[in-house]
Each structure stands twice: as C-alpha cells, then as structure tokens.
Structure 1
C-alpha cells in the first residue's frame, strides 16, 4: 500500500538529457585544458632579406604530458604541402632524431623547453610562404594540432619614414620645455616678490622706531630726562 502525505509533493527530477549535457560540458572543458598546443609566438610572421638566415619558432605544451609525440614542419608550396622535417619525441626532455627533407634546413629545437624550432639558411624568394608546425600526441587519442608561421622574403627591408614621429616628438618636447620654463619663471617671480615684501616690512618697522624716538615716546631719550624739583 502506498501512503502519501497530504499537501506534500514528491521532488521533481529534471530531464536526464540536461544532466548528461552538463557532465559532457565539464569533461569537454577539462579535456580542452589538457590538450596539446602548438605555438609559433605572438607574432606569427617574419619579413627577411633574400640571402639571410632566419629561425622559424615553434613550441608545444600539454598539461597531461606527452608520449611518442609526433611533429613535423610543412611548407605550403602553392597549395601543395611539402614536408620540411619530421620526428617523434618519446617523452619530455628526450632529444629527438629529426629527418630533414629540404635543403638549407636545420633543426635547432632539440626539445629544450619544448622547443621544436627550425632554421632556414640563405633563404631565397622561393622559401617565402606559409610554414605549418604540426603535432600529434597519442596520450590524447592522436588529436591533431598545428600553428602557421608566414615567412616574407624581400629584396631589402623597407625604410620607415619617421618624419611625422620626429615632428610630433619635437612638438611635445617643445611644449614640455615651454611649460617647465613658465613654471621656473613663475617660481622665480614669486621668490622675488616675497623678498621685496620682507624688505618692505623691515623698512616699516625701522621707520616706526625712528618716529617714536623723535616724538619722545617710551624708550626715547625724552623719557630719560628727570623732572626738575621745585624750590
């Protein structure tokens, strides 16, 4: 027999799919934090002169660590991806053996500070374009991650016209100098006026003492004379 209390309703449970969705969102957020990340720095491009040597930076990071991390560099040659180098890093701190597939390329990362950067020697105009730093970590079910770095090869670096900057800096500097000169002149004027005011006060005190002496007031010579006695 089922007994029900009057005026008391049993607690209602939300739809099961909402609870499942919440759990899935939490797990997805934790997973995204732990995921592998590839980075080419805050400025993902470089403009370099033809014939120079440049470094293409790339680092990786993972909160859950790595195991047999596969990485490679690829060059986008007019829509065709060409492999530049590749290797597998067994674990943290282990220096990988890197295979190079392109001339004038040197691997300089050596897995120090999770660094997998490369250097291009004596670059030519054909070396200009997009380079992709790719990584895949088996510890997160072989998810793919990548970052793109753009190399721009020029005949010579552009000369930046600093005329406007110089004019603005000169104007600001002149205004500051003028303001400082005005403040110095103001302080000097106030100092001179204060000295003149002190001198005027001294003159007034001195002249007041002279007047009292001449008029025979207290402290003057007239007071020092005794009154003659009557015979």
Structure 2
C-alpha cells in the first residue's frame, strides 16, 4: 500500500510540473533576439561594419532595455546601453563608450531593430559582440544573441572555379539525359510509324489475295445466280 501511495504522489508531482511547464513555456519563448543567420562576419581594417540585432515579443513591450557587450581576447566592456519606450518609439541611447558607434536601429513599422554601425575599424575590434534585451512587460525576461567580428587586412576573393566546374558537369549530365530522352522518343516514334505502315501493307496485301482467290472475306463482287 505504501508503494502505491508513493507512486501516486510521484505521478502527482510529475503532473504538476508538466502543467507548470505548459504555463511557463509561452513566456520563455516569447522574447527572442537575433543577430541574423551568419554567426561570423568579416570586415576590412579602416572601414565600417553593421552589427545587426533585432528582437520580437508575443506580449509586446514597454521601457525595453537593451545593451551591447564586447568580449575580446583581453577586454570585456559595455559598448552601448539604451531603452525603447514602446512600439511607436525609436531606441534611445543612455550610454555609449565609443564615439565610433552609431545606433541605426528603429522600432517603427515593427522592425524592432537595435543594430549599430561601428566605424573606423581596427584589428583590436575583433571579438564577440552580444546583443542583450530585457523586457519589463514580461517580468524582466532577458534574451541575447552573439555574433563574431573578424577584422582583416583585406577580404579574400572566393575561388569559384570549383563551383563553376561542378555546375558545368551537372549541367552537361542533365543536357545529356535530356538528349537521350529526345532520341529515345524519336526512335519510338519512328518504330511506331514503321509498324503502322507494315500493318497497313499486310492488310492491303491480304485484301488483294482474298479478292483474287474469291475467299469469303474478299471484296470480290458476288455473281448473281444463273437463271435457268
């Protein structure tokens, strides 16, 4: 009996945890932050680069806080800190630790963009850039996304020769298959026409023989019976 009671209590705890998880799941998945599909970007020394970040929330937001953090080989610092009052307000910057940073984000037309432009790049700018977002409307729920920036002397040109060769081979194979199918259809058509002509010839020949031999299947006219 005791074992049955323990199992019942365990099932009750599991059920309660499951129900609680169902209630918490929408909240945990509501606030999302994204820096795009690329996990790494490359930029040339002395130029500028756009570090993208967008956010979304199923429950909306107010006084949403955001900040960008740089994590280099031996440096960790907050680059920019700001808030977004509501869906109709553009991001407002409260703190910016580098004059090279230009916030280019906007929340108008539901863009929810808090990206920034980093100008006059230096090799020391190489590192991880993490975009953090906190939404008071969701009990200060936080989410973040990270992108890696690599500052280089020059961008290497991608050698597309292998790609061109592969495409040419694939295109050639496809073209050959199409040619084979066309030839096959042509041969089938010629054979069909040849067989039809052969059948017509046999039928015509059979009709002539029947006519000459006076067979029942012939086209010979029947002579009327001779009158006595």
**TM > 0.5 fold call:** yes
Question: 1:3 matched to which residue of 2?
Answer: none
Question: 2:61 matched to which residue of 1?
Answer: 66
Give the secondary structure class of the aligned counterpart of 1:158: coil
Question: 1:100 matched to which residue of 2?
Answer: 96
Question: Is the radius of gyration larger for structure 1 or structure 2?
Answer: 1
Question: 1:199 matched to which residue of 2?
Answer: 197
Distance of 1:96 and 1:213 partners within structure 2: 102
Question: 1:123 matched to which residue of 2?
Answer: 121
Distance of 1:189 and 1:63 partners within structure 2: 63
Q: Which residue, 162, 165, 168 being the options, matches 2:166? A: 168
Question: 1:54 matched to which residue of 2?
Answer: 49
| Cα deviation digits, residues 48-85 of structure 1 (max 9, x gap) | 22333321111223344333222222222433223322
Question: 1:111 matched to which residue of 2?
Answer: 107
Change (3 A) 1:68 1:216: closer
Give the secondary structure class of the aligned counterpart of 2:185: helix
Structure 1: 5+ residue stretches without partners: 1-11
Change (3 A) 1:173 1:65: closer
Give the secondary structure class of the aligned counterpart of 1:67: coil
Structure 2 contact 65–135 (Cα < 8 Å) conserved: yes
RMSD across aligned positions (CA): 3.5
Bigger mean CA offset, 163-172 vs 190-199: 163-172
How far off its partner does 1:167 sit? 3.1
Structure 2: 5+ residue stretches without partners: none
Distance of 2:136 and 2:211 partners within structure 1: 110
Distance of 1:152 and 1:211 partners within structure 2: 93
Give the secondary structure class of the aligned counterpart of 1:114: coil
Question: 2:85 matched to which residue of 1?
Answer: 90
* 1:1-231 superposed matches below 5 A: 15=9, 18=13, 22=17, 25=21, 28-29=24-25, 31-34=27-30, 36-98=31-93, 99-112=95-108, 113-142=111-140, 144-215=142-213, 220=220
Give the TM-score normalised by the residue count of structure 2.
0.74
Distance of 2:225 and 2:59 partners within structure 1: 113
Structure 2 contact 72–126 (Cα < 8 Å) conserved: no
| Cα deviation digits, residues 187-211 of structure 1 (max 9, x gap) | 2222222222222223233333443
How far off its partner does 1:107 sit? 0.5
Change (3 A) 1:151 1:180: same
